[in-house]
């Protein structure tokens, strides 16, 4: 099986920054009260942070069984967070149109 943990860690940390940028820009423009955009971005932040944590644990562990388990958890957390970001982008798109 290919090691996905370094890729998950890289992508999760980048998208965590993107999610934090969304939340910050919403707070600055005071749009956060009108939509659920900040909730989706906040959930995505938490999930991306957890995904980073588990992918890091998968990289650092010496136990093969734990590595597979941590990598799988990180993968599912990343996918769920990505879904939240997609919902946030859809909300922004609908708001603009």
Cβ atoms of 76 and 95 within 8 Å: the answer is no
Which tens digit of pLDDT belongs to each residue from 3-51?
A: 888 898 999 999 999 888 888 888 887 776 667 788 888 899 999 999 9
Token pair belonging to 46: 């938490």
Which residues form the domain of 64? 4-96
Euclidean distance between CA atoms 54 and 52, whole angstroms: 6
Residue 64: pLDDT above 80? yes
Residue 18 makes CB contacts below 8 A (sequence gap 6+) with 85
CB atoms within 10 A of CB 1: 6
Count up the domains in the chain and report the number: 1
């Amino acid at each position: 099986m290919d090691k996905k943990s370094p890729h998950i860690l890289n992508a999760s940390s980048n998208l965590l920054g993107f999610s934090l940028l969304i939340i910050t820009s919403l707070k600055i423009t005071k749009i956060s009260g009108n939509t659920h955009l900040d909730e989706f971005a906040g959930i995505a932040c938490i999930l991306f942070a957890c995904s980073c944590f588990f992918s890091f644990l998968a990289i650092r562990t010496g136990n093969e069984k734990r590595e597979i388990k941590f990598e799988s958890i990180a993968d599912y957390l990343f996918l769920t967070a990505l879904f939240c970001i997609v919902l946030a982008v859809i909300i922004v798109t609908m708001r603009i149109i």
